[in-house]
Structure 1
Amino acid sequence: LAMTTAFADTNTTAPSTTTPATAATPATLNTDIDKLSYSIGADLGKNFKKQGIEISPSAMAKGLQDGMSGSQLLLTEDQMKDVLSKFQKDLMAKRNAEFTKKAEENKSKGEAFLSQNKSKEGVVTLPSGLQYKIIEKGNGAKPTKDDTVTVEYTGRLIDGQVFDSTDKTGKPATFKVSQVIPGWTEALQLMPAGSVWEVYVPASLAYGPRSVGGPIGTQR
């Protein structure tokens, strides 16, 4: 069996909201400690920017200096605990809002794609919402849910981005029909051995609202 799978969604990336910090006078990195200190700071800065976390580099440097020197801190332990707790709650709320927004966008785009795709020549739409197009007809037996199959496949998002493919390993994949996403399980049982199909899988038959990371994301 050979399958070219198109998942009904698109990849979106939320813009960073990090406010650029005012550039400080470049330090001279003469010692290993200087280089280590700078590397740690640069790594933290890149991570904060990537996550959209806004901080004050000067205040952070002051806190680091006071904490390491044992100087009188500008906030009490309880105050810092409250600040960090609020930060965690706000960050979680922001992440959840971004997740929900992206999921809704992907779901809407996926539904629009399937709605247009179903009218294309050769595309068959099943009651479940799964769509497929036969590229090459196979003459072998159709597998059952309990069978193990060997397939070659390429998985793409609806924008054409490839997120997985047996081409990467140079060899087919072998798995049990019941141990893949529902859309594949349904399609595989309809495909005679030797078939080549394009299968268009709605989010509800793929990964749904859960995020699997990478380009697939959520509602794909």
Structure 2
Amino acid sequence: MPGVPGGNMPHCPPAHGEDRHQLNSPGDKIQYAIGVEVARNFKNQGLDLDLEMVAKGMRDGLSGGELLVSEKELRSILISVQSDIRRRQSLVKQGAAGDRKP
């Protein structure tokens, strides 16, 4: 993600057939679909993320254990990221509107 240290989402998916994961159950399919949708959402918002750090945050959030940042800092970080996303989306919309003017 621009402006966030460690933002380096890999951009090269494995070639067809290289991924050895199988969707063996309805639960596997649901979890895979959730992962795809979350990743697409990140991509559509222009976020460039370190997937290992995202996975660490998810594991920590699900475990209910100690986080690497305080709850207060967590809220502050998320508010900042959301503001940045809204600002960038607004600039894109303004640019698109400007392109339509005669």
TM bucket normalised to smaller:
0.7 to 0.9
Aligned equivalents of 1:60 and 1:26: distance in 2?
22
Residue 38 of structure 2 corresponds to residue 44 of structure 1: yes
Structure 1 residues 1-220: aligned runs within 5 Å = 20-21=10-11, 23=13, 26-107=20-101, 111=102
* Alignment RMSD (CA, Å): 2.4
Matched residues, number: 91
TM-score by length of 1: 0.37
- 1:21–1:57 contact (8 Å) kept in structure 2: no
What's the CA shift for 1:22? Answer: 5.7
What's the CA shift for 1:80? Answer: 0.8
* Greater strand fraction, Structure 1 or Structure 2: 1
Aligned equivalents of 1:57 and 1:22: distance in 2?
13
Q: Give unmatched runs, 5+ long, in structure 1.
A: 1-18, 112-220
- 2:60–2:66 contact (8 Å) kept in structure 1: yes
TM-score by length of 2: 0.72
What's the CA shift for 1:23? Answer: 4.5
CA displacement, residues 48-98 of structure 1 (integer Å, 9 cap, x when unaligned): 223322222221111111111223211111111011000111111111111
